[in-house]
Structure 1
Amino acid sequence: MTDILPISTDRLILRSFREDDAVAFHGWRNDAEVARYTLWDYPFAIDRAEKFCREQAALEPFPEGRYHQLMIEEKATGLAIGDIGVGNGVTPEGTGHVRIGYSLSTNGQGKGYMTEALRALLPALVKPLQVVKFSADIDVRNPASGRVLERLGFKPVGPVHLKRTFVKGEWCDEQDYELDVAGSWLSNKE
């Protein structure tokens, strides 16, 4: 599965984590603004970032039934600026259903990076993971994340789930999104 990585776009490189990514990864995981709409704990300890990077670096990409994180690196600077989680068969539907999640450092936000990264990643995953559907969910207080998904053809599914998750001392309302591969721009990609 590693033969699809790294993936290069005009401005970005999507690659596997390395152990030396811990400081950069910690930078956005421990940023209150970035962490606000996520499920990870805040503050996020550096030793936890080091352990996570070490574990991800040792993991063969995209194991079935687990999440695998990819690093987003800015080509111009060589800096790690965000990550994408790829959950291969982690939903009740199992194989063929891939869940994604993502985060960007504050410096990486507002530049179209996540749309660019996902536009390159999703088609690369379709054949090797036999993807029929991608899914994601967002905290509705973060509409920018929903716009990223909608630019890629994801559609909101069902009603907003009110008070679905209790995280960082508050209830979060969430919206589910899905992208069926058949009939989408992904079905035309090789």
Structure 2
Amino acid sequence: MVSIRRGTLNDAELLANLGKTTFLEAHGHSASPEEINEYVSIKFSTTAFETELKDPDAIFYIMAFNNEVVGYSKLICNAPHANITLQQAAKLERLYILQAFHGLKLGYQLLQHNINEALNHNQTGMWLFVWTENHKAINFYKNIGFNIVGRHDFQITATRYNPNHQMLLTFKN
């Protein structure tokens, strides 16, 4: 049984813990332990999530499988970017599923939920950044129909950046 609900301010601690775990599973080896710990301590604190959840442009979704929280996403509608020529394009800023639940197509279901929500908000497409070394994620997005349209250096610390692809999915009318 899968359920997806919108995250609220009351979910800040849950999202901080889930976000930290899923980020470390996906990216924990992408920089030195010190750099990763510095990034995680800032970006995945309860306070950081409280701030993000108060942002009216940020839409968080929390996914549960058999009543266990297994993943989350963050969607921002009308998120312009220099590489994106579409008007009213949404940014999928995060989509993470706990590693123990990979292979169950839960990521696909959460992505489809975000696509449907973007369509409900009259978006014409969706873009995202994905680490160039995360081949599993790149293939996942390519299989959905995303194309690589640019490059982005994702800042981990003041001196560490990881190369990312920028990917775009244009919605069909």
TM-score grouping bracket, smaller chain normalisation: 0.7 to 0.9
Quick check: 2:95–2:111 contact (8 Å CA) kept in 1?
Answer: no
Please say if residues 79 and 88 of structure 2, whose CA atoms lie closer than 8 Å, have aligned partners that are also in contact. Answer: no
Q: 1:105 aligns with which of 98, 102, 119?
A: 98
Give the share of equivalent positions with the same residue, in percent.
10
Give the superposition deviation at 1:171: 2.5
Q: Secondary structure at the match of 2:39?
A: coil
Per-residue CA deviation, residues 151-177 of structure 1 (Å, 9 max, x unaligned), is 22111114xx37x23315632111111
Question: Is the counterpart of residue 15 in structure 1 residue 5 in structure 2?
Answer: yes
Residues 113 and 96 from structure 1, CA distance in 2 versus in 1: closer, same or farther, beyond 3 angstroms?
same
Q: Which amino acid aligns with 1:91?
A: P
1:25-77 CA distance string (max 9 Å, x none)? 2333233324536x99313688x326625863x67xxx4xx322111121x2x
Alpha-carbon spacing, 1:95–1:68, altered in 2? closer, same or farther (3 Å): farther
**Aligned pair 1:132/2:124, yes or no?**
yes
**CA distance in structure 2 between the partners assigned to 1:106 and 1:44 by the alignment:** 22
Instruction: Find the counterpart in structure 2 of residue 4 from structure 1.
Output: none
Q: Partners in 1 of 2:154 and 2:165 — Cα distance?
A: 11
Counterpart among 19, 32, 53 of residue 29 in structure 1: 19
Match of 1:72?
63
1:118-137 deviation line (CA, Å, top 9, x unaligned): 123313431x3111111111
> Aligned AA for 1:69?
F
Instruction: List gaps (5 residues or longer) in structure 2.
Output: 31-35
- Please, what TM-score do these two structures have when normalized by structure 1? 0.67
Identify unmatched segments of 5+ residues in structure 1: 1-10
Structure 1 or 2: more helix by fraction: 2
Q: Pick from 24, 40, 43: which aligns with 2:41?
A: 43
* 1:98-177 alignment runs, 5 A limit: 98-100=90-92, 101-126=94-119, 128-158=120-150, 161=151, 164-168=153-157, 170-177=160-167
Q: TM-score, normalised by structure 2?
A: 0.73
SS of the residue aligned with 2:107?
helix
